[in-house]
Amino acid sequence: MYSRRESRRQRNSFAVRNNAATAACLPATIRRMKYGICLPNFTDLADPDAIEAAAATAERLGWETVWTTDHVLVPNGDETSDYRTNYDAILALAWVGARHPGLRLGTSVIVVPQRNAVLLAKELSSLDALSGGRLIAGVGVGWNLREFGNLGAADRFHVRGAYLDATIDLWRHLWSGSTEPFEGRFHALDDFVFNPLPAQGASLPIVVGGRSEPALRRAGRLGDGYHSSSTNPESYAKRIPVIRAAAEAAGRPMPLLSARVHVDFDSATTGSYAMRGSPEEVAAEARKFADLGVEHLALFFDAPTTAGFIEGAERFAAEVAPLI
């Protein structure tokens, strides 16, 4: 007999599929694709009303998850223009989670090496405990050296992969409730008490982002999922064997596959990858992800206004999702 907490943990785990044995036998294209919204906690849309409207839309459409984007103190420049206003990734989820108890809460992705790993473990654990086990910890190593410098973490930039590896090991140790000493490259703990524990315990799902080969191996070796960003299906397909090989070498199951993608209806604009065009064209792109075994799409709708963002989500639900 499961306790109430254990039952909730089993129900909410990002790594556990409903009827997984049956699903494994089905072609990807006839499994149910799951959807989430990347909240406008960044870009020129970012404000409380836009974040709330997007979260409410996800809940109304029956989508599972909302995701926040993480940057803290970016330099000026075109490549960082979307992140000049960026509500904190964890605090924004806490605010949304309290208002929308039916939504799962994900970071897409939090730049772990810019932060103290123990403090971050506490913040994530607290959010999971307060939200009743709804957190998905999406993590990555970051890419902007100047932002690391702005946060006093420039020395960590060149060892950021090793820092993330060590952090995941540390989190699992702390979240398990163990009080045994922990010895790692960046942290040594021999006298500590860590509470509150996550509602999901050490099984709190960690999904790993990134496109480099070390990031892909990390997803297979340590992650419960892999989470791409701005990646077309053809490039995604080349990453899967690397992830699978790392998982097999570590004696772990293949992580769940997810993709963060922009949706831009009726546009032929080039640039970073997006699912563009008519509903039929967008659906055709989404089916390519499904054919690869991708089970979750985190969607951001390119629009200059909040109303346009919401209209994009509603159009996707009404005109695209039924075609996938």
The answer to whether the beta carbons of residues 124 and 90 sit under 8 Å apart is: yes
The answer to whether the beta carbons of residues 80 and 123 sit under 8 Å apart is: no
Window from 24-28, 94-98, 136-140, 212-216 with minimum mean pLDDT: 24-28
Residue 177: what pLDDT?
98
Phi, psi of 181 (to 5 degrees): -55, 150
Residue whose tokens read 């099984």: 203
Q: How many Cβ atoms sit within 10 Å of the Cβ of residue 48?
A: 11
Evaluate the CA torsion angle 53, 58, 59, 62 in order and state its sign: positive
pLDDT > 80? residue 237: yes
The mean pLDDT of the chain is 92
The amino acid sitting at 232 is N
pTM as predicted:
0.91
Phi, psi of 227 (to 5 degrees): -135, 105
126-183 pLDDT, tens digit per residue, is: 999 999 999 999 999 999 999 999 999 999 999 999 999 999 999 999 999 999 999 9
The answer to whether the beta carbons of residues 40 and 81 sit under 8 Å apart is: no
In whole angstroms, give the CA distance from residue 235 to residue 216.
Answer: 13
193-212 pLDDT, tens digit per residue, is: 999 999 999 999 999 999 99
In whole angstroms, give the CA distance from residue 74 to residue 111.
Answer: 12
176-205 burial code (b ≥16 CB/10 A, e <16): eeeeeebebebbebeeeebeebbbbbebbb
Average pLDDT over residues 66-78: 97
For residue 66, give the 3-state DSSP assignment.
Answer: strand
- For residue 175, which of 134, 248, 121, 117 has the smallest C-alpha distance? 121
Structure tokens, 210: 């990134």
In whole angstroms, give the CA distance from residue 17 to residue 36.
Answer: 16
pLDDT > 90? residue 20: no
Average pLDDT over residues 120-125: 98
Residue 127: what pLDDT?
98
In whole angstroms, give the CA distance from residue 59 to residue 66.
Answer: 9
Q: How many Cβ atoms sit within 10 Å of the Cβ of residue 258?
A: 27
In whole angstroms, give the CA distance from residue 52 to residue 54.
Answer: 5
Residue 31: what pLDDT?
56
